[in-house]
């Protein structure tokens, strides 16, 4: 409510970006994926449609950035306690993908990708990936707790699958297993054979 | 083409089921999720709509069963070679979820679950789960190759996530990592500490 829109010295674009992204999230939750058009975002945010188009080529990219904003760097600052860091990381990741706007957008985005039928670089879609932050956590782990033979990317892929399955695909039907089980599995993947 | 529709002694219902399920898959691929209604399936299969409704309460259950028929038992008959069995299992699983009808239905089903907003028992949705077949493979593995302390359900959950991420979510943008990487990760999860 009283949050300042603009601060001295802060680039004006940031405020425009944030207003458009916030409006996109609100529209997704209130009116759904189909109704979340550039025009609707412009009306809801007060940002002119042309300014939105200058930043995002279509509503798809706008919705992607609005719904998958990545993890706050603060929330996963590694402490060197591998189990604790992984737990915080997985919680933050689940919260990001389980957010109402992300859930509201998921089916629509999936349908778009299926219909579009051609590849977009995964880095584009996952430019908000938490992969680097996962690697930071592994680097901060105590010596000997992470097998150097294991590929962090392979482990991250499994973690991503677990998070997406829990949030987007089975948001409703989730088996509600404790997060600790996923933490335990990731630790198993990382541990050296002679640990 | 020349496949017999009915065999002596075979229950007639089986043929009706199969015709309705096959028509559902064809409609999904050709006309998409929204157009795959009970009425359309009735017209396309020659099975009366009332006979379809006797078997499936709505088109959702019909589409679920048509698109996620589970794995052919033959394709994952365990041989006792854990790595080989896992590889065949993952391949068959990827093929099932990556089939055209499954991909055509995925976004629509996801949207339905999100909108329906209330839980259906996961066993219903996953009544076609390959979980029992995964457990069969672990039971057939040589002694000492599977850590008895690890919960097969936890491992299966990660495997399911990896398969869904590869097929339904990132069918288009998949990073195309070799299946062997997933096999390797699952073996890592299963191995005893002192292996």
- The interface pTM score, or ipTM, of the predicted complex is 0.75
Q: What is the DSSP code string of B8-72?
A: TTS-HHHHHHHHHHHHHHHHHHHH-TTT--HHHHHHHH---HHHHHHH-SSHHHHHHHHH-----
Residue B141 burial (10 A CB sphere; 0-12, 13-18, 19+)? middle
Between residues B37 and B176, which one has the greater pLDDT?
B37
Between residues B92 and B43, which one has the greater pLDDT?
B43
pLDDT at B10: 47
Question: Cα–Cα distance between B147 and B190 in angstroms, integer?
Answer: 6
Question: Cα–Cα distance between A114 and B114 in angstroms, integer?
Answer: 18
Best of A185, A190, A194 to mutate (most B CBs within 10 Å, chain B)? A185
Closest-CA residue of B relative to A188 is: B189
The answer to which of A86-90, B12-16, B113-117, B143-147 has the lowest mean pLDDT is B113-117
pLDDT at B57: 92
Match domain A9-66 to its CATH number in 1.10.10.60, 1.10.940.10, 1.10.3720.10, 3.30.465.10: 1.10.10.60
Q: What is the DSSP code string of A78-116?
A: --S-HHHHHHHHHHHHHHHHHSHHHHHHHHHHHHHHHHH
Task: Tell me the fold of B9-67.
Answer: Arc Repressor Mutant, subunit A (1.10.10)
CB contact under 8 A, A188 and B188: yes
Nearest Cβ partner for A193 among B157, B168, B195: B195
pLDDT at A86: 94
B90 touches chain A (CB under 8 A): no
Sign of torsion over alpha carbons A54, A60, A64, A67:
positive
pLDDT for residue B30 is more than 90: yes
10 Å Cβ neighbour count for B70? Answer: 16
Contacts of A169 (CB under 8 A, 6+ apart): B110, B164, B168, B169
The answer to which of A86-100, A129-143, B58-72 has the lowest mean pLDDT is B58-72
B169 touches chain A (CB under 8 A): yes
Distance from CA of B114 to the nearest CA of A (A): 7
pLDDT at B14: 74
Question: Cα–Cα distance between B153 and B175 in angstroms, integer?
Answer: 26
pLDDT at A8: 52
Q: How does pLDDT run across A113-142, given as a tens digit for each residue?
A: 776 654 453 434 444 567 888 999 999 999
Between residues B130 and B19, which one has the greater pLDDT?
B19
A114 touches chain B (CB under 8 A): yes
């Amino acid at each position: 409510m009283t949050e300042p829109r603009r601060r001295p010295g802060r680039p004006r674009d940031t405020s425009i970006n944030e207003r458009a992204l916030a409006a996109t999230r609100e529209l997704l939750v209130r009116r759904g994926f189909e109704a979340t058009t550039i025009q609707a975002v412009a009306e809801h945010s007060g940002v002119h449609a042309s300014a939105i188009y200058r930043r995002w080529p279509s509503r798809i990219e706008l919705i992607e950035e609005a719904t998958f904003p990545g993890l706050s760097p603060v929330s996963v600052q590694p402490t060197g306690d591998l189990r604790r860091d992984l737990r915080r990381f997985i919680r933050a990741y689940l919260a990001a993908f389980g957010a109402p706007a992300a859930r509201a957008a998921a089916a629509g985005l999936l349908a778009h990708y299926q219909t579009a039928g051609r590849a977009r670089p995964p880095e584009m879609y996952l430019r908000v990936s938490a992969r680097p932050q996962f690697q930071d956590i592994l680097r901060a782990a105590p010596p000997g707790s992470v097998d150097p033979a294991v590929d962090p990317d392979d482990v991250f892929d499994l973690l991503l699958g677990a998070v997406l399955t829990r949030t987007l695909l089975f948001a409703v039907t989730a088996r509600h297993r404790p997060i600790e089980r996923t933490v335990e599995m990731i630790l198993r993947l990382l541990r050296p054979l002679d640990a």
